[in-house]
Amino acid sequence: MDIKMAKILIVDDNRMILQALSEHLEEMGHDTEVADSGLDALDLLENIRPDLIIMDIVMPGMSGIEVTKKIKANPALASVPVVAFTSQSNHAQWSEIFDDYLVKPFGYDDLAKIINRFIQQSADSI
């Protein structure tokens, strides 16, 4: 099965994580955009439409939960899957907000499986 390469927005206040994830996803053939805050992510989303958003939950200013609620409330972006990633362990409360989640630390194989699943779902719905 061929997996379509995706445009992925990564949102995290830790620049080292942004760089590592971006480099790895680009090595996998994906296009990436990065934002180091929730506000930067919302600004970027005025001009781009990613296939998937990977969102840190705990960020200063605006949490990933707040940002995701704004994304899901926007009709132009509501269908874009948002995957949370965090070191917190209270995942059950997120199922109504996020499409999926990864717990830090996570392996790149786990990330690839989630990306491939959402990209395949997107391709199947076309």
The CATH number of the domain holding residue 91 is 3.40.50.2300
Residue 2 lies in a domain: no
Residue 91 lies in a domain: yes
Domain count, the chain: 1
- Report pTM: 0.90
Q: Contact, 54 vs 32, CB < 8 A?
A: no
pLDDT at 65: 94
- d(Cα 72, Cα 81) in Å, to the nearest integer? 9
For residue 67, the enclosing domain spans 7-124
Residue 90 lies in a domain: yes
Residue 1 lies in a domain: no
Q: What's the pLDDT tens digit per position in 53-77?
A: 999 999 999 999 999 999 999 999 9
Residue 80 lies in a domain: yes
Q: What's the pLDDT tens digit per position in 22-49?
A: 999 999 999 999 999 999 999 999 999 9
